[in-house]
Every structure is written in structure tokens, then in C-alpha cells.
């Protein structure tokens, strides 16, 4: 799921999920991404934010980050995948720091501003985070 296309494809395919009962029988169902394109959490935005579709019986809209493994579900119409990933994982996920944190670095005109020096591309934290996107995992905060 490292590539954007792989993550995007995970939302376009029907997934088989199973519910296991106490006895060795199980029930299965086919599910697709359940939310309409009017949601901020679309296949495209979730994929760019680092998530792939990983539904379960109880969480039909569950996604997981390809790098840190963070699982999220129960998406509402106004939930922004970039903001949520950055808020929840900025201390542990290099992808959240490098990609999802970009929104804090841009002003209304689309120009890059760095009010926080740790967000500068030359900072040690950003350097470590970028390296972490190649190695996978790892804390990004000092």
C-alpha cells in the first residue's frame, strides 16, 4: 500500500469481510466505501493522506495508514483526513508530518509560510520525517 495508486485502488474494489461466531461458522458480506462523494473523506483524499480501505464487520468505513498503521473509522461528512491524520499522528507518523502537515504551511493565496520553524524543510524534524517515509515507521518528534 506504499503507492498512492495502490491505496486508491483499495477504495475502488469490493471487499469481503467476515463475522465470526462463537462456533466455527461465520457470516460474510461484500462492502464498498460507504460514503458519498460529498464527504471530505473520499477515496482520493484518504489515499493522499496515507490511508487505504480496511473495513471490518463492525467498522464498514475503517481505514488504516500504510506507514504508521493508525486505524480510523466512523467518518462524518466534514471530517478532513489530512487534519485528522496530522492531529492524531504528528508525533509518530512520518507521512502525517510530511504530507498531512503541509496544510498548516500554506496561506490563503497558496504561498508557503512557516510560522513554526520546525516545519521548515531544512529542520531536523522534517529531515527525519522525510527519511522515515522511506524507511517506514519511527517516531518523528525529538
Please give the angle made by the CA atoms of 109, 112 and 100, to the nearest 5 degrees.
105
Structural element, H or E, at residue 137? none
pTM of this structure:
0.86
Q: How far apart are CA 84 and CA 49, in angstroms?
A: 9
Q: Which CATH superfamily is domain 4-17+28-135 in?
A: Inhibitor Of Apoptosis Protein (2mihbC-IAP-1); Chain A (1.10.1170.10)
C-alpha cell at 136: 517506514
- The span from the first CA to the last CA of the chain, in angstroms, equals 27
Q: How is the chain split into domains, by residue range?
A: 4-17+28-135
Give the pLDDT of the chain (142 residues) as one tens digit per residue.
Answer: 789 999 999 999 999 998 876 666 678 899 999 999 999 999 999 999 999 999 999 999 999 999 999 999 999 999 999 999 999 999 999 999 999 998 888 888 989 998 889 999 999 999 999 999 987 655 544 4
Amino acid at each position: 500500500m506504499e503507492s498512492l495508486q495502490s491505496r486508491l485502488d483499495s477504495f475502488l474494489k469490493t471487499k469481503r469481510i467476515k463475522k465470526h461466531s462463537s462456533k466455527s461458522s461465520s457470516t460474510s458480506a461484500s462492502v464498498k466505501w460507504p460514503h458519498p462523494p460529498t464527504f471530505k473523506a473520499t477515496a482520493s483524499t484518504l489515499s493522499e493522506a496515507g490511508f487505504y480501505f480496511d473495513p471490518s464487520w463492525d467498522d464498514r468505513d475503517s481505514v488504516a495508514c500504510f506507514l504508521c498503521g493508525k486505524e480510523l473509522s466512523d467518518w462524518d461528512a466534514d471530517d478532513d483526513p489530512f487534519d485528522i491524520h496530522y492531529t492524531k499522528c504528528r508525533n509518530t507518523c512520518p507521512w502525517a508530518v510530511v504530507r498531512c502537515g503541509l496544510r498548516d504551511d500554506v496561506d490563503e493565496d497558496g504561498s508557503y509560510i512557516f510560522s513554526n520553524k520546525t516545519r521548515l524543510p531544512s529542520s531536523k524534524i522534517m529531515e527525519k520525517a522525510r527519511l522515515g517515509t522511506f524507511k517506514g515507521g519511527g517516531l518523528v518528534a525529538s
